[in-house]
Amino acid sequence: MSVSKALRRGLALSGLLAAGLVVPAGAGAAPAHAACVTRPAANTAAIPGTAAVSRATAAAVQRDLRQREQTHPARKSKAPFTVGVVWNVFYDQATGEGNLSDAALQRQIDVVNQAFSPVGLSFRTYQVYRYGVSHAVLHGVAEGNQNEAYLKQTHKYNQQYLNLFTARPDDSRGWATFPWDYASRPGYDGVVLNSDTMPGGTRPDYDEGKTAVNLIGHWTGLWSTYQGGCSGEGDYVADTPAEASPAVGCPTGRDTCPAAGTDPIHNYMDDSTDHCRVQFTHGQLQRVIGTLAQYRGINL
Ligand SMILES: [Ca+2]
Ligand SMILES: [Ca+2]
């Protein structure tokens, strides 16, 4: 039986709340480490380092967004919207590593909700699925590799649901897909989150759950604040000063671009430490409203 059939059969057998599906060892699980990366998936945002796309890609997205807005202006509902979160919790079937408690999931949701409340967007756990996998798969998942494809076989529902895949990738805090990617790769939509970044996690300086806020920021249509560097349109948000590169630590007064304003190190879409990142700007939230309306059919 193929891995995908095994997964599907497991889901069918275990019903809506799949508790502890165990993928048999040797059932075709992908090799473990980055050596098996064939090529990076297009248009996904990973951190650290590769969260920026090319200026040409960002410009093309902007043209598409503007064109859509002219053709189909967003209905402004002025009402809050709650996104259903589908948790895909992957854990080590031998040791239980990564098998997060429901309380741990809720603590993460609470941090995300605090960040997005100014725009009327909230998140609520809709379903929790837990999957036992090998240590190699749990730690070997990387953006664009076979392990990621393996995990994402569990993806569910449509573009209005947030699929959150938790694992323990050795080389990343996580990555996300953008709203405009949904049409071409619906089964890849969502956020892969290293669970060591969740509130109370084990990752130094990144243990307050802001990584998920940042990645869900991408999922809602935001670029990193350092997108495009100092020139051009940057992140296509007017009230985030241009920034040459991701901030490291919490460097107060950092100013890497000649344009007005110091670097937005306190912004969720920078790469500063969790304690340092506390805000979205008005411009970012306006962009979220626009991109969610155009690409996810969510009207705020
Ligand atoms: Ca900006
Ligand atoms: Ca500046």
pLDDT tens, residue by residue, 91-123: 999 999 999 999 999 999 999 999 999 999 999
Cα dihedral across residues 128, 198, 208, 83: positive or negative: negative
Distance 254 CA to ligand 2 centre (A): 8
Q: What is the pLDDT of residue 111?
A: 98
Assess if residue 53 is contained within a domain.
Answer: no
Q: Which domain holds residue 138?
A: 1-25+75-222
CA of 85 to the centre of ligand 1 (A): 29
Cα 295 to ligand 2 centre (Å) = 32
Instruction: Tally the domains of the chain.
Output: 2
Q: Give distance in angstroms: CA of 60 to centre of ligand 1.
A: 17
Residue pLDDT, tens place only, 247-275:
999 999 999 999 999 999 999 999 999 99
Q: Are residues 243 and 162 in the same domain?
A: no
Low-confidence stretches of the chain (pLDDT < 70) are 1-51
Query: Within this chain, do residues 216 and 228 fall inside the same structural domain, yes or no?
Result: no
Question: What confidence score (pLDDT) does residue 45 get?
Answer: 52
Query: pLDDT by residue (tens digit) across 124-144?
Result: 999 999 999 999 999 999 999
Q: How far is the CA of 23 from the centre of ligand 2 (A)?
A: 51
Q: Give residue 241 CA to ligand 1 midpoint distance, Å.
A: 5
Distance 174 CA to ligand 1 centre (A): 23
pLDDT at 10: 36
In a domain, 284, yes or no: no
Among the bound ligands, the one closest to the CA of 259: 2
261 alpha carbon, closest ligand: 2
> Is 291 a member of any domain?
no
- Residue 118, domain member (yes or no): yes
Q: Are 109 and 187 part of one and the same domain?
A: yes
Which residues are near ligand 1, the ion (C-beta closer than 5 Å)?
A: 234-235, 237, 240
- What are the φ/ψ torsions at residue 21 (nearest 5 degrees)? -60, 125
174 and 106, same structural domain? Answer: yes
Cα–Cα dist 1/3, whole Å: 7
What is the Å distance from ligand 1's center to 189 Cα? 25
Gap from CA of 217 to ligand 1 centroid (Å): 15
Query: What pLDDT, on a 0 to 100 scale, did the predictor assign at position 51?
Result: 64
Q: How far does the centroid of ligand 1 lie from the alpha carbon of residue 140, in Å?
A: 34
